[in-house]
């Protein structure tokens, strides 16, 4: 179970403290999933960073009773001088996975060919995206954090990501944040709306969508 | 499929320690490849870089006759002095930029702010120590300098310098999470501290008043200890190991407190 308990996050700005998350609560059981709808700047990415553990909440706490991924397909931790293989080894070492058991999968999924052993700096956007996604799949997390990543790449890539994540790993929990209600409707069984620092839960996605369309404009 | 148990049971200290050590090893390998690449010397640059600095400075000091007419062998004087500077200055500088360069790694749950610092501290100390050892061995083997009179004393002083460098690194590194000013101020400060750090002089050479002031700086005690070990009775040294230990202890405490809080403060760059 993942529990977000009254989490607040404020940032210092030139105009004083700005509250991004103002007492957010959420509970997610193993194997379940939730979509979080929010406009640009609503605090979706902040919430994801806090869930991933990259930032600490100003107040409140997060309980993680299962392993939580880094934001899916997040490529920001790539080091441009390292090769795709180096990055795979690094991630596997961090999480205590034997990288040799993952090389075939990553090579196959990314279709990098000889570039797998070239520095990431030489990769095209598409190659980096494929590598980032494959690395996220190399570690078997209980819960995946997804930050609108499915929006990039071509349709074939979408389909393969979909297959890896929502078909092969359909027993896992995930939290998907997006500003696109259709995205959430397609993948999630329940939805919340993040608006003015509060997280509003809804029993159905339609109700969440109705609120999203009216209240947040 | 096999799942990971990444969150160790609460209280399972040993398990956490194992995870941390694994993470630090991974970070070290990543750091080394990132910094030095795989071309030419690769990881050996970790040693070669400080060694080149020390060699260059030794050559300059020899030319300038910085031993001030004392009977001290100038090469040994320069190696002990400049290596000591590298111990605290490089470690602190590397830690200063650690958070900015590594923020994205914090997206991995297992990587904590302190791991980033420990990694850089360990690499820097290891590199400088290896360079110091190799240079000493090299010059001893070709009879340019004589072996240390008291090796244990050298090691003791060296370890004190390592402790000082590590603690200073943590304090400065974590302080960058509070204000960018830390980085800006550290550069001129380290530059000014260098001539005062005891690297280029023996405390004995200073007038009484100068000695009192300079001995307020913890690293001066470390250099004096190393040199006493190297030169034995040929030099009169002034140091107080317990004073230096106290300073290091305080810095370590402040450093750990700051690091804990830096984890809460750190924001995407």
Give the HSE-up count for residue B188: Cα atoms under 13 Å, Cβ half-sphere: 4
What does the alpha-carbon distance between residue B185 and residue B181 come to, in Å, rounded to a whole number? 6
Residue A169 phi, psi (nearest 5): -115, 40
pLDDT in tens, B109-138: 888 899 999 999 999 999 999 999 999 999
Q: Distance of alpha carbon A121 from its chain centroid, rounded?
A: 23
- Smallest Cβ–Cβ distance between A140 and the set B4, B103, B267 belongs to B4
Nearest CA among A173, A183, A79 for reference residue A132: A79
What does the alpha-carbon distance between residue B98 and residue B90 come to, in Å, rounded to a whole number? 12
B196 in a structural domain: yes
CB burial of A131-157 (b: ≥16 within 10 Å; e: otherwise) equals bbbbbbbbbebbbbbbbbbbeebeeeb
Contact assignment for A55 to B111 by CB distance below 8 Å? no
From chain B, pick out residues whose CB is under 8 angstroms from the CB of A77. Answer: 104-105, 107-108
Contact assignment for A141 to B105 by CB distance below 8 Å? no
B3 in a structural domain: no
Strands A143-147 and A198-202: unpaired
Contact assignment for B104 to A76 by CB distance below 8 Å? yes
Which residues sit opposite B170 in a β-bridge?
none
Q: Measured between CB atoms, does B29 come within 8 Å of chain A? A: yes
Residue B95 phi, psi (nearest 5): -70, -30
Maximum Cα–Cα distance for chain B, whole Å?
A: 73
pLDDT in tens, A56-89: 899 999 999 899 988 887 777 777 888 999 999 9
Q: How many domains are contained in chain B? A: 1
From chain B, pick out residues whose CB is under 8 angstroms from the CB of A82. Answer: 30, 33-34
B40 in a structural domain: yes
What does the alpha-carbon distance between residue B125 and residue A96 come to, in Å, rounded to a whole number? 26
What is the per-residue pLDDT for A152? Answer: 66
Closest-CA residue of A relative to B9 is: A65
Contact assignment for B111 to A94 by CB distance below 8 Å? yes
What's the length of chain A?
Answer: 217
B73 in a structural domain: yes
- Smallest Cβ–Cβ distance between A77 and the set B5, B105, B264 belongs to B105
pLDDT in tens, A142-164: 999 988 755 567 788 888 888 88
Residue A215 phi, psi (nearest 5): -70, -30
Q: Whole-number mean pLDDT of chain B?
A: 88
pTM to 2 decimal places: 0.86
Check: CB of residue A145 under 8 Å from CB of residue A71. yes
How would residue B8 be classed by pLDDT, with cut points 50, 70 and 90? very low
Contact assignment for B26 to A94 by CB distance below 8 Å? yes
What does the alpha-carbon distance between residue B40 and residue B30 come to, in Å, rounded to a whole number? 17
> How much is the ipTM here?
0.81
- Smallest Cβ–Cβ distance between B4 and the set A70, A71, A96 belongs to A96
What is the per-residue pLDDT for A107? Answer: 92
Nearest CA among A103, A88, A76 for reference residue B26: A88
The answer on pLDDT for B2 being more than 50 is no
The answer on pLDDT for A140 being more than 50 is yes
How would residue B1 be classed by pLDDT, with cut points 50, 70 and 90? very low
How large a percentage of chain A has pLDDT more than 90? 36
**Element spanning B188, H or E:** helix B181-196
B9 in a structural domain: no
From chain B, pick out residues whose CB is under 8 angstroms from the CB of A54. Answer: 103-104, 106-107, 268
B59 in a structural domain: yes
Architecture of domain A1-66+177-217: 3-Layer(aba) Sandwich (3.40)
Stronger pLDDT, B246 or B232, i.e. the higher one: B246
What does the alpha-carbon distance between residue A173 and residue B203 come to, in Å, rounded to a whole number? 65
Q: Which of B5, B18, B38, B109 to mutate: most A Cβ within 10 Å?
A: B109
Closest-CA residue of A relative to B20 is: A94
CB burial of B182-218 (b: ≥16 within 10 Å; e: otherwise) equals bbeebeeebeebeebbbbbbbbeebeeeeeeebbebb
3-state helix, strand, coil in chain A (%, to 5): 40, 30, 30
Contact assignment for A11 to B266 by CB distance below 8 Å? no
Residue B216's domain comprises 19-264
B5 in a structural domain: no
How would residue B75 be classed by pLDDT, with cut points 50, 70 and 90? confident
B85 in a structural domain: yes
pLDDT in tens, A199-209: 999 988 888 88
pLDDT in tens, B43-63: 888 888 888 888 888 888 888
Q: Which of B23, B103, B104 to mutate: most A Cβ within 10 Å?
A: B104
């Amino acid at each position: 179970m993942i529990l977000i308990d009254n989490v607040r996050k404020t940032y210092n700005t030139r105009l004083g403290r700005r509250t991004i998350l103002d007492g957010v609560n959420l509970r997610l059981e193993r194997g379940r999933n939730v979509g979080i709808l929010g406009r640009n700047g609503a605090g979706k990415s902040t919430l994801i960073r806090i869930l991933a553990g990259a930032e600490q909440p100003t107040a409140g706490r997060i309980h993680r009773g299962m392993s939580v991924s880094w934001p899916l397909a997040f490529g920001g931790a790539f080091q441009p001088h390292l090769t795709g293989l180096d990055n795979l080894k690094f991630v596997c070492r961090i999480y205590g996975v034997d990288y040799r058991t993952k090389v075939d999968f990553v090579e196959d999924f990314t279709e990098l060919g000889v570039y797998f052993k070239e520095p990431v700096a030489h990769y095209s956007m598409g190659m980096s995206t494929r590598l980032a996604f494959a690395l996220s799949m190399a570690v078997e997390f209980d819960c995946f954090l997804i930050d609108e990543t499915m929006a990039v790449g071509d349709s074939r890539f979408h389909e393969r990501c979909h297959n890896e994540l929502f078909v092969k790993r359909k027993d896992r929990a995930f939290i998907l944040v997006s500003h696109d209600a259709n995205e959430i409707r397609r993948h999630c069984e329940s939805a919340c709306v993040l608006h003015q620092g509060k997280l509003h839960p809804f029993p159905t996605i339609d109700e969440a969508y109705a609120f999203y369309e009216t209240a947040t404009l | 499929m096999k799942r990971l148990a990444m969150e160790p049971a609460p209280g399972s200290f040993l398990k956490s320690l194992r995870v941390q050590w694994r993470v630090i090893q991974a970070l070290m390998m990543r750091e080394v490849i990132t910094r030095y690449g795989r071309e030419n010397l690769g990881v050996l640059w970790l040693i070669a870089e400080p060694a080149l600095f020390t060699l260059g400075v030794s050559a300059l000091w020899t030319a300038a006759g910085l031993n001030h007419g004392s009977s001290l062998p100038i090469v040994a004087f320069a190696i002990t002095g400049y290596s000591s500077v590298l111990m605290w200055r490089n470690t602190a500088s590397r830690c200063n930029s650690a958070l900015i360069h590594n923020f994205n790694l914090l997206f991995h749950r297992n990587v904590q702010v302190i791991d980033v610092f420990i990694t850089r501290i360990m690499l820097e100390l290891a590199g400088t120590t290896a360079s110091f050892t190799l240079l000493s061995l090299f010059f001893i083997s070709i009879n340019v300098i004589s072996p240390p009179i008291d090796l244990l004393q050298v090691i003791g002083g060296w370890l004190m310098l390592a402790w000082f460098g590590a603690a200073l690194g943590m304090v400065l590194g974590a302080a960058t999470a509070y204000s960018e000013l830390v980085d800006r101020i550290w550069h001129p400060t380290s530059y000014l501290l260098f001539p005062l750090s005891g690297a280029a002089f023996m405390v004995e050479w200073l007038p009484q008043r100068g000695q009192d002031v300079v001995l307020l700086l913890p690293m001066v005690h470390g250099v004096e200890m190393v040199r006493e070990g190297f030169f034995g009775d040929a030099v009169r040294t002034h140091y107080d190991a317990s004073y230096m230990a106290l300073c290091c202890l305080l810095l370590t405490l402040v450093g750990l407190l700051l690091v804990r809080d830096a984890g809460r403060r750190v924001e995407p760059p």
